[in-house]
Each structure stands twice: as C-alpha cells, then as structure tokens.
C-alpha cells in the first residue's frame, strides 16, 4: 500500500483468487475472504479505488482437474467438474463462476464498484484449451468445434457473472451513482500483414490480417454486446444468446506488442493463417523495425504507436463503450526503458483521447516484478524491482519515478516527453536473448 501511495495512483487493479477462496467445491475459506477485505479497507484508507478482476487465468483444481483431462475417472463430480466445453460439466462451471462472482459482490460491494469478470479471455482459452500450455493443459485448437464449445461456455460465464454482480452489488461505494460497473479485459496486439513475400501473396496476408483481428480483437466484445456468437468464425454470428447482450459496461485493452501474420503455412487451420508469436519461426515473421524495440526475455517487439491504432479501431466499432488501458508495460532490467514505455504509452492514450476515443484510465503492468505464468520470474515488468535472490525488498526503478511524477501532476510534461517520449530508438537492453522475432537484423 505504501508503494501505491508513492506512485500517487487513484485506482489499483488486482484479482481475488477463486482457488484460495473456494479450495473445495461449496467450501468457502473465510480467512481468504478476510485477507481481501483487509486489503480493500487499506485501499479505502489510502483513497485508492479498487478495480477487481474475478477470473485471471487460474481455477480451483476441482473445476477441471489437469490430472484427469478427459474425465476418464468419471464425472462431473464435486472433485472434477470436467471443465468448460464439457457437455454436462461446462454449464456447471458457468453456474459456479456466477456464484463466485455473486459471493464477492455481496461481501465487497460496499467497497468495490469496478469489476472485471474475465482477464484476457482469448489468451486464456488459447493457452488452457487451445495449445495446452496453461492448466488444464488441453490441446483442442485442431478440433475447432471442441475448442469453440469452450469459448461459448466462457462467454456464457461472463454473462452469468455480470448478472450476478449486478444483482448482489447494490451499494454505490464511490458516490458516482453506479453501484456496479462491470467489464472485462482483452489482450490486443498491433497485428500487421507480413511483408517479406512476393507481391502476389501480399493480398492473401492482408485478408489473413483481417481474419485474425476479427477473431483476436472483435469476436469476444461482439458476442457480449450483441448477444450473438460466431461459432464457426466465418464473420457472421449464427447463434443467438439474448442473455449475453449488453453485458459490458467497459472494456479493458491490454497492449504489449506488435506482431506479424501470414497466410502461409496455416498454423491455425480454421483461419488459414499463421500468427508470428514469439518463438514461432515460420519464415514469414516481421523482425522489429528498430532492434531497440525488441523485448528479449519475451521474444517480441514493443511498439507503443500501435496502441493508438487499436484504441481508434475500438472507438469506431463500439462507439458508446468506455475503454480502459487495463495493462501495458515492458519486461526489462533497464529502468530507463520502463520510463520510456510509460511515457510513450501515455502519449498514445493522449493522442487517442484527443481524437475522440473514450479512454477512462491507464493501469501499468505491473506494480512490482511478478510471476509471469509460463515465463516464471525471469521477465521483470515491475515499476518496483524485487530482490528475488535474497531480501525480496522492492526498490523503485526510473519507471516508478516517471510514473509517480505524471500521476501526481495528472499531466504529461514537456520534460517527460523530451526525456522519454517520441517514437525514436529506446535505451538499449543489452545483449539480446536469441528468441523468435529478436533475431531480426
């Protein structure tokens, strides 16, 4: 809390962990709830508004036990509901997620108004059920009907959580006239058509780009604003879900990188394209236009101007939907690069707001160095650096200093822009790690 106060923030985004709160089905750990209650009280004392995410990638093991991915031991049961997409267990998981959301809304609605149901649903679903790198470790991407059944259940869970929060959080904690402001966050990428092909294939890459942007950026918010689902990803929704409609009060966009997409190779058959993620070398990926934009530990290219384009795209597609940049950051051990990222991201938000985008706020990822899922503790995103080797002390980086100065004054000064802003080269990271796109010229 002291670190937050030093940054002069007026809002803090964090999650409440379902597996801690409900370690066994229908068994609530009151000590875990008390922990979060104490945290909310401390935020209130510091006059910092909470923004609470309810599902940030992880589940209690009883939701979909990765030790029994096919439910071969029988199910669904209280110890294994068999997960999203299961014909019987999927609807049960949806119901449990709604009950969890309702519980937190009822307990904490007197101190929380801003809620996010799901964090990065596309990334979560791809990692957990598409290629199996997150628990429960299932790989369904090549059998698209099985994968899209999981997507359908997850969107149904969002709608059910939305309804539960609205029903249970009836207290306007901040006095703005709204008791519960419920959204979700979405991972976004500045996708660009790969440009290293002969001209005859460039048009194919451009249409592949359109297909990927639709699936990665638009499918989820389209579904929960219109109440319709495009199960076969052909661009036209064929399933009506009236209970999903208008279940999004705000949308968080989470931006880190620019990447290429090509029609070659068809790594994702249903879309007939290959996205150039870090470490995926198809012979058609775009290297960073400027080597200093490479983020070696993650193997991707940072590119702040891409955020402007994405915000303007969402403004055009969802003109009445408030936006929040709910994550942006850079993994680096060089503090000046973090300060540059903070200032350059904010410059793009200022551009978008000036051009009419309704962007309500910015949350940096992250407050201090974190556990980065499949990447472990190697990437260092924190405004405060953590001494993992010994004391676990948290010390400010130049990024924290830059962020604090901006947040305190509520302005992006000419000095900050001069020192850290613009679209020129960034401070060098050092010797790049040989990963994916960082092998560019």
Q: Which of 113, 108, 100 is nearest to 37 (CA)?
A: 108
Chain-centre distance for alpha carbon 89: 26
- Residue 285, in any domain of the structure: yes
Chain-centre distance for alpha carbon 323: 13
Token digits of residue 101: 């959301």
Residue 408 backbone class (left: φ over 0; alpha: ψ -120 to 50; beta: rest): alpha
- Residue 30, in any domain of the structure: yes
Computed on alpha carbons and rounded to an integer, the radius of gyration of the chain in Å comes to 21
- Give pLDDT tens digits for 322-351: 999 999 999 999 999 999 999 999 999 999
Q: Is the pLDDT confidence value at 287 over 70?
A: no
Q: Is the pLDDT confidence value at 104 over 50?
A: yes
Residue 272's contacts (CB-CB under 8 Å, 6 or more residues apart) are: 208, 211, 263, 266
- Give pLDDT tens digits for 23-38: 999 999 999 999 999 9
Burial of 23 (0-12, 13-18, 19+ CB in 10 A): middle
pTM: 0.95
Q: Which of 204, 278, 316, 307 is nearest to 432 (CA)?
A: 278
- Residue 340, in any domain of the structure: no
Looking at the chain, how many residues does it have? 441
Q: Is the pLDDT confidence value at 190 over 70?
A: yes
- Residue 431, in any domain of the structure: no
Average pLDDT rounded to a whole number, residues 130-155: 93
Helix or strand holding residue 333 (H, E): none
Query: Residue 215's domain is classified under what CATH number?
Result: 3.20.20.80
CA distance 42 to 39: 5
Residue 405: the pLDDT is: 97
- Residue 78, in any domain of the structure: yes
Range of the domain at 182: 10-332
CA distance 234 to 12: 38
- Residue 271, in any domain of the structure: yes
- Residue 368, in any domain of the structure: no
Q: How would you classify the pairing of strands 114-119 and 181-193? A: parallel
Beta bridge pairs of residue 55:
118
Least confident piece of the model among 4-18, 59-73, 112-126: 59-73
Planar angle of CA 184, 118, 230, nearest 5 degrees? 80
How many domains would you assign to the chain?
Answer: 1
Tell me if residue 385 falls in helix, strand or coil.
strand
- Residue 256, in any domain of the structure: yes
Helix or strand holding residue 144 (H, E): helix 144-168
Chain-centre distance for alpha carbon 434: 26
């Amino acid at each position: 809390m002291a670190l937050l106060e030093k940054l002069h923030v007026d809002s803090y985004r964090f999650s409440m962990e379902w597996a801690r709160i409900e370690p066994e089905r229908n068994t609530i750990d009151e000590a875990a709830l008390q922990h979060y209650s104490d945290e909310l009280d401390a935020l209130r004392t510091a006059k910092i508004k909470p923004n609470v995410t309810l599902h940030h990638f992880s589940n209690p093991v009883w939701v979909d036990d990765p030790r029994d991915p096919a439910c071969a031991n029988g199910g669904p049961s209280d110890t294994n509901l068999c997960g999203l997409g299961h014909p019987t267990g999927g609807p049960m998981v949806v119901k449990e997620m709604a009950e969890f959301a309702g519980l937190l809304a009822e307990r904490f609605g007197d101190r929380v108004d801003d809620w996010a149901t799901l964090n990065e649903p596309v990334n979560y679903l791809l990692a957990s059920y598409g290629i199996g790198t997150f628990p429960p470790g299932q790989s369904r991407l090549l059998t698209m009907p099985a994968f899209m059944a999981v997507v359908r259940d997850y969107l149904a869970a969002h709608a059910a959580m939305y309804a539960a929060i609205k029903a249970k959080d009836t207290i306007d904690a901040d006095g703005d006239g709204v008791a519960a402001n419920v959204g979700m966050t979405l991972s976004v990428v500045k996708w660009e058509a790969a440009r290293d092909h002969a001209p005859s294939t460039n048009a194919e890459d451009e249409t592949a780009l359109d297909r990927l942007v639709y699936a990665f950026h638009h499918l989820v918010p389209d579904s929960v604003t219109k109440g319709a689902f495009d199960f076969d990803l052909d661009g036209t929704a064929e399933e009506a879900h009236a209970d999903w409609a208008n279940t999004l009060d705000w949308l968080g966009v989470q931006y880190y990188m620019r990447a290429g997409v090509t029609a070659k190779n068809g790594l994702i058959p249903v879309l007939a394209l290959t996205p150039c993620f870090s470490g995926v070398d198809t012979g058609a990926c775009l290297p960073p236009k400027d080597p200093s934009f490479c983020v070696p530990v993650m193997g991707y290219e940072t590119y702040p101007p891409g955020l402007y384009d994405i915000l303007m795209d969402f403004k055009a597609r969802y003109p009445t939907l408030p936006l929040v940049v709910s994550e942006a950051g850079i993994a680096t051990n060089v503090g000046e690069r973090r300060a540059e990222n903070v200032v350059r991201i904010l410059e793009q938000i200022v551009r978008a707001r000036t051009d009419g985008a309704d962007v309500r706020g910015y949350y940096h990822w992250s407050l201090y160095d974190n556990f980065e899922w499949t990447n472990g503790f190697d990437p260092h995103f924190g405004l405060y650096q953590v001494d993992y080797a010994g004391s676990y002390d948290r010390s400010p980086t130049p990024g924290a200093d830059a962020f604090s100065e901006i947040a305190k004054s509520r302005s992006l000064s000419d000095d900050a822009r001069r020192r850290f802003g613009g679209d020129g080269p960034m401070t060098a990271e050092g010797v790049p790690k040989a990963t994916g796109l960082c092998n560019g010229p």
